[in-house]
Structures are given as C-alpha cells and as structure tokens.
Amino acid sequence: MKNSQERILTTHVGSLPRARELSDLLIADEARETIDRDRIDKLAESGVRHCVSMEIDAGIDIINDGEQPRVGFQTYVAQRLDGFDGVSERELFRDFADHPEFGAIWEARGMVMSKVFDAPAANRDVKYKSLDPAIRECDMFDAALSDNKGRYVETFMTAASPGIVCTTMRNDGHYESHESYVRAVARELRQEYELIHSRGYLLQLDCPDLAMEWHGMFQNGTLKDFQDAISIHIDAINEACINIPKDRIRLHVCWGNYDGPHDHDVPLADILPVISEAKVGAFSLEFANPRHQHEYMSLKENPIPKDSLLIPGVIDSTVNYIEHPQVICNRILEAVNAVGDKERVIAGADCGFGTFAGWEMVASSVVWKKFEALAEGARMASEKLW
C-alpha cells in the first residue's frame, strides 16, 4: 500500500454516480425482471471507463471502478451468493424515528432506488454461486486502466464486509445465531476478497455495521452488547482475510451515508478500540460531516496501530456544497496532527457518492468538482508539510 511519502495522496471511498439508464437496469435486475444483459454490461463497462477517467482528471491518486456494475455496495452480495430470498425486516434508524419530519422530507424526495431497507434475507445456506460476476467486474476495471497507464498511483476495489451483509440482509431463522451467520458469510466472501487481492488491487472492506448499526440493528441493546457484536464482525474479517497481507487491505467505517440528524451516532471513542483490532493497513473514517468533525481527539486518546494509515474523510458525501480547498487543507493538517505522521495520512471522502443504484444525493458534476477541490486541498497541505 502506497503512503504519502512526498506529498499527501488522495483517494475516495468507492461508489460513484451511475448513469440513470444503468441504475434503472440494475434495479430491474435486482427485482428479477427480464433485462437486456448485453445492454447492462455495455453500460457498466462505459461507466467504469468514465469513472476512471474522471477520477484521474480530477487529481485522485488511488482510484477504483466506481462500483458501476453493482446494484448496491453490499446488496450485490445477494445476487452473487445463493441463500437469499424474501425481505429483511429492519428497524427504523433512531434518528428517523425521533425526527418524523425529516422522514417526511426524505420520502418526498421520491428517489427511485434499489433495495435499501427491504433487502433480501438469508433463509438457507449462503453459498457462492460463481465468481464470474466478480471476475467480470475486475476485467472491466483492468480494461479501463489499460488506457490510463502511468496516470494514477494505485488501485483499489471494494467488497462488503461480513458484518454489513448480515446486519442489513438479516438471518431469517436459518442460522442458529447472529455469530454463526456472520462466520458463514465470511467463509464465502473470503473467495471474493482473495480474488480482488490476486488481481493486484487493494482490498477495501466496507463496514458501516461497525458504527451505523448502533442506531440500527443494535439500538435496543447496551453499548457493551454492540461492542461485543462488532468484535465478532472484526474477528470474522480477520479470518476471511488470513491469506491477504494486512498492508493490502483498507477498512471503511461510517455512520450511514445519508444527510439525516445523526444525533444517535455512536461516538468514535466507543468503537475505535474494537475497530483497531482489524488486521488491515489503513482505516477510512468520517471526519468531514458536522457530526464527526471533532473526533480527531479520539485518535490521540486511542491511536490506530502505528503500522497503519489513516484515510480521513475531508469531503462530505451527502451534501452538494463543494468544499473550499483551504477547508480541505485545514482538515488534512488536523488529521496529520492527530496521527503525528504526515506519511500516514491519505486524504479521502466520508463515504461513497452512489452507495445504491438511484441513491445519489450529490449531483454527478458536483462530485467531480469535490474531487478537484480534494486534490487542490491536498496540494496546499503538502506545501505546508514538505
């Protein structure tokens, strides 16, 4: 994994805006409607090429495929693995429940999107059908990269963590416990993780469960209950990635990629000691949004492992404000101060910009301008640090 040896490098979290036609086809495919397979394949391929080109043109150093072929950052798993059917019954997030007026505003947006709060559930043994879709996604990415050799520093590809799969696509009574379900999913996802590593990309594990599910699935328990649960999630990750060097793995944690109240978010300080047990080379954490900007202090009190990097979110993935480069520079400098080593900081985003097909709160043109501001802010910070 590259680090910021000569300047602050830039990256992002993964998902990027999709063309509306592609989103509509992905949503229809998820609903098991008959679709034009060749058309969706061509649109996904075009989307990957577009994302790679736009990332590079904006000045992003560590790039990915924008998750263009996927219907959702974790719900794609239900299409690649057998064992999922029906509908998961999920709790209303606590901030949605406490602020129904916000919920009404959310509903009024009328977003046509994939299954988010009504994803399938596990009602039989979860097993990989075939790695072919994952291989095809890698092939699309490689084809786009071949046209841009020498124009980027490194590549990464995302994959859902066992914990986020199991908290959002619930166990429908098939597995005897949440832990047995998590470990079964981890054993299967290990194949995808190892494929991504074998193709030469950094593996980024998307793990909103490690923070978001405190006000979701685990909202009626104690903090200790939640910490114990995510400790199991971390252990499952470590086991699934046992054959991948830790410096080839990034871990992304967030509190939910939506512009809601977030007044029930678990403090970073309460989960950081557990999260730090992950055997990974970098931690991607939210710091740009107004609910978590202050939490750099937690990194001083509970430092991440000394041999790991920090990827702080310095641009917000839920608002159409384009951050001023000076603001981004200031945030990067604050992150460096918290970690104590400029070479261990890579500037990133809070979360993705297209986490689900149709779930895109930031206009695509704004996303690329945010990336340009990110690159400029990193340049400004680098001038101060080197």
Q: What CATH number did the domain enclosing 363 receive?
A: 3.20.20.210
pLDDT value, residue 110: 85
- CA 51 and chain centroid, separation: 16
Q: For helices 132-146 and 37-58, what crossing angle results, to 10°? A: 40
- The sign of the CA dihedral 23, 26, 32, 35 is positive
Question: Which residue(s) pair with 156 in the sheet?
Answer: 202
Q: How many structural domains does the chain have?
A: 1
Residue 48 inside a domain? The answer is: yes
pLDDT value, residue 220: 96
pLDDT value, residue 178: 97
Residue 375 inside a domain? The answer is: yes
Residue 142 inside a domain? The answer is: yes
In SS3 terms, 283-337 reads as: EEECCCCCCCHHHHHHHHHCCCCCCCEEEEECCCCCCCCCCCHHHHHHHHHHHHH
Phi then psi for residue 259, to 5 deg, are: -90, 55
From residue 24, give the alpha-carbon distance in Å to each of 37, 98, 315, 356: 13, 32, 28, 11
pLDDT digits (tens, 9 = 90+) for 48-85: 999 999 999 999 999 999 999 999 999 999 999 999 99
Residues of the chain with pLDDT under 50: none
pLDDT value, residue 226: 98
Tokens of 343: 């070479």
pLDDT digits (tens, 9 = 90+) for 308-348: 999 999 999 999 999 999 999 999 999 999 999 999 999 99
User: Position of tokens 């998590």?
Assistant: 182
Tokens of 179: 């832990």
Residue 1 inside a domain? The answer is: no
Count of other CB atoms within 10 angstroms of residue 370: 24
pTM, full prediction: 0.97
- The sign of the CA dihedral 78, 84, 87, 88 is negative
CA 359 – CA 110 distance, rounded (Å) = 11
Side by side, which strands form the sheet with 62-63?
62-63, 154-160, 202-206, 249-253, 282-285, 309-312
pLDDT value, residue 231: 98
What is the residue range of 67's domain? 20-385
pLDDT value, residue 290: 96
Residue 100 inside a domain? The answer is: yes
Residue 314 inside a domain? The answer is: yes
Residue 9 inside a domain? The answer is: no
Residue 177 inside a domain? The answer is: yes
